[in-house]
Structure 1
Amino acid sequence: QRQVKDVRTEAEATAMLRECARHHLQVCRFVQSVEEVAAPALTLQLLVSTFLLCMSAFTATQIPVGSPLLARVVIYMLTGASELLIYCKYCDDVISESGRVQQALYGSGWAARGGAFSSGVLIMMARAQRPLCLRAAHVLPVSLQTFTKVLNASYTVFTLMRQIKD
């Protein structure tokens, strides 16, 4: 793969940068359009998963140890958590990869080139400061951190339900 820092002429480097900028813009638009379609589903997924994990954990505490039903409830709970983890993991990958754009720009040797190339890199770096991510309800970034928050919220509600029952 050819890299900008290996290109000798200013014109070639600027042309490569323009192509990268076009591609980055296409990716940004794609993520935005996916979010438009997926945001309601992601929001529902987070809410349902929180409820499912909480209720499954609560149900599991009501079933005698050794019961075949207990194993089914635990498997159901783990399956629900795994389903959410898949969404969160891939959305987290989008965040991580988009963060690498700025690092790649910085490592392009832009300071030594000057001119239009350096200006273009600085503009792209400014655009790439905010990482791309899919958001539930167009507000909450879906990531591994979100997965942890869902687990914490589920556990909090589970604990509250246990206290009310006892």
Structure 2
Amino acid sequence: MSKDKTLIAKKEIYGTLRSCNFFIRRIGLSFVDKKPNTFLQKINVLSSFITASSFVALMLISEYVYIVYLLAKSVTLEKLMGSYLHIAGYDTMSFGKLLTIWYKKNTFRRVVNDLADIWPVDEKNPEAVAIKNKCLSTLRSRQSLYIFWNVLGVWLYNLTPVALHLYRLARGIPSDLGFVWQMYYPFDKTKPIVHEFVYIFETASGLYSVCCMLSSDVFFITMASHISMMLRILQVKIRSLGVVESADGKLIGGLHNCYDEIIDLINVHQRLIRYGNDLEDAFSVVNLINVLLSSVNICCVMFSIIFLEPLMEMGNKFFIAAALTQMGVVCWYADDIYRASVGVSDAVFASGWYNCNPRCRRALLLMLQRSQRPLYFTALKFSSITLNTFRSILTTSYSYFTLLYTSYRRH
């Protein structure tokens, strides 16, 4: 690809990562910005990352210490579920994703830059252009939906104590500003000034946690969408192999030599496989955490919505919307890559291979054999992630909720 086309490709790819990059910058990282060169720039980036990771880590530790404290006191089920177990699960996933994108930052930057070399910049085939436009449009809408649930949800949690405090004061009822989360502190958090600092800390921690979650998930679904899109465009090009039309639109028979074109498509296919495997290696641990905790998070927040915390009901509803959207889009794009990679073998069979010479047929046979080993994402190699995984998470969540409901009614 020429230099001008590469620049256009990078501009388009960076455009799809604009919202993702906004949140990644908040935690001191970036996969598209230039690397810091000066000492001050490096200090600024490092301090941003240390600040974000420290806030999320301290929040997570405080939440787990508080849960252990409640368990040690043998509190009731209502008290335990009211400790925001689902928030602790969310923060666990956020911290795991923060560590992942920090550890794999160079790999992600390389994948973004290398993808520009095979990005479809000047496609002439109307079907390929339609695939590209549809995929990019769908990606933008899903990015916006997922970001909306998470950002609005965390601000509802953050502002609910303030709204309740102002409401009570307006009614002439004595009131103190509450707290955002249920966390343990080794000091009296109700004292003047300390109370305000604690509230600011909890608000900032929640925002950093959401930034970590969105940075990882939006990057994952964006790159998965691009790989899936390019696999589908690859299918269109494969199906056109060996099919030659004359000026009047009639098919020309005989054996055709399209070996060089086949080799180019094989190289694109291999690179897409490598990109997919890089994403799988980077996110396999995170996907395992997602699968294990999503069912528990959904169950706990449903229990809180129905039986507990009426004042926080709206924030909890947005939380469950974010949780369902998060696992839904991850499973959707993981399943989409699986189906797109399988479709390559179908495209080879549907091509005009019978019009190609023996050399071209042998090359197509190699592509056919490789494409029959589909790409798929896993939860640390334990199980593949598809739409069936999402269904399984919902089923497991309902089972957990039924168990909690039974225990709650008995007491």
TM bin, normalised by shorter chain, reads: 0.7 to 0.9
Larger radius of gyration: 2
**How far has the Cα of 1:15 moved from its partner?**
1.3
* TM-score scaled by length of structure 1: 0.86
8 Å CA contact 1:98, 1:128 repeated in 2: yes
In structure 1, what residue type is equivalent to 2:368? M
2:397 paired residue among 131, 154, 160? 154
In structure 1, what residue type is equivalent to 2:291? L
Name 2:330's counterpart in structure 1.
Answer: 87
Query: Is the aligned partner of 1:102 residue 2:359?
Result: no
2:281 paired residue among 32, 36, 46? 36
Aligned residue for 1:136, secondary structure, equals coil
Instruction: Quote the Cα distance in structure 2 between the aligned partners of 1:139 and 1:112.
Output: 43
Work out which structure has the larger RCO, using CA pairs closer than 8 Å and 6 or more positions apart in sequence: 1
Instruction: Quote the Cα distance in structure 2 between the aligned partners of 1:157 and 1:114.
Output: 60
Name 1:50's counterpart in structure 2.
Answer: 295
Percent identity at matched positions? 21
**How far has the Cα of 1:68 moved from its partner?**
4.0
1:75 paired residue among 318, 335, 338? 318
1:60 paired residue among 305, 311, 325? 305
Query: Is the aligned partner of 1:113 residue 2:349?
Result: no
Instruction: Quote the Cα distance in structure 1 between the aligned partners of 2:379 and 2:263.
Output: 32
Instruction: Quote the Cα distance in structure 1 between the aligned partners of 2:329 and 2:290.
Output: 11
CA deviations 1:88-107 (Å, max 9, x no partner) are 12212211221221121111
Instruction: Quote the Cα distance in structure 1 between the aligned partners of 2:319 and 2:278.
Output: 32
Instruction: Quote the Cα distance in structure 1 between the aligned partners of 2:380 and 2:405.
Output: 30
**How far has the Cα of 1:84 moved from its partner?**
1.3
**How far has the Cα of 1:77 moved from its partner?**
1.2
Please, which runs of 5 or more residues in structure 2 have no aligned partner?
Answer: 1-124, 126-236, 245-251
Please, which runs of 5 or more residues in structure 1 have no aligned partner?
Answer: none
Instruction: Quote the Cα distance in structure 2 between the aligned partners of 1:61 and 1:145.
Output: 27
CA deviations 1:110-136 (Å, max 9, x no partner) are 133341112222221111112211111
Name 2:241's counterpart in structure 1.
Answer: 4
User: What stretches of structure 1 move > 6 A for 4+ residues in a row?
Assistant: none
Instruction: Quote the Cα distance in structure 1 between the aligned partners of 2:401 and 2:359.
Output: 58
Name 1:130's counterpart in structure 2.
Answer: 373
Name 1:163's counterpart in structure 2.
Answer: 406
8 Å CA contact 2:243, 2:352 repeated in 1: no
Instruction: Quote the Cα distance in structure 2 between the aligned partners of 1:126 and 1:87.
Output: 28
In structure 2, what residue type is equivalent to 1:5? G
In structure 2, what residue type is equivalent to 1:34? L
Instruction: Quote the Cα distance in structure 2 between the aligned partners of 1:14 and 1:139.
Output: 39
Instruction: Quote the Cα distance in structure 2 between the aligned partners of 1:98 and 1:32.
Output: 12
Aligned residue for 2:242, secondary structure, equals helix
**How far has the Cα of 1:5 moved from its partner?**
2.6
* TM-score scaled by length of structure 2: 0.37
Instruction: Quote the Cα distance in structure 2 between the aligned partners of 1:27 and 1:76.
Output: 34
Instruction: Quote the Cα distance in structure 2 between the aligned partners of 1:158 and 1:114.
Output: 62
CA deviations 1:20-72 (Å, max 9, x no partner) are 111111111111111111111111122221111011112223138xx443333
1:141 paired residue among 384, 388, 395? 384
**How far has the Cα of 1:6 moved from its partner?**
3.0
Name 1:21's counterpart in structure 2.
Answer: 266
Instruction: Quote the Cα distance in structure 2 between the aligned partners of 1:21 and 1:69.
Output: 54
8 Å CA contact 2:302, 2:320 repeated in 1: yes
8 Å CA contact 2:242, 2:356 repeated in 1: no
Instruction: Quote the Cα distance in structure 1 between the aligned partners of 2:315 and 2:279.
Output: 34
Instruction: Quote the Cα distance in structure 2 between the aligned partners of 1:120 and 1:70.
Output: 60
* Number of residue pairs the alignment of both structures matches: 163
8 Å CA contact 2:305, 2:313 repeated in 1: yes
8 Å CA contact 2:337, 2:375 repeated in 1: yes
Aligned residue for 2:381, secondary structure, equals coil
8 Å CA contact 1:88, 1:143 repeated in 2: yes
* Stretch deviating more after TM superposition (70-79 or 14-23): 70-79
8 Å CA contact 1:35, 1:138 repeated in 2: no
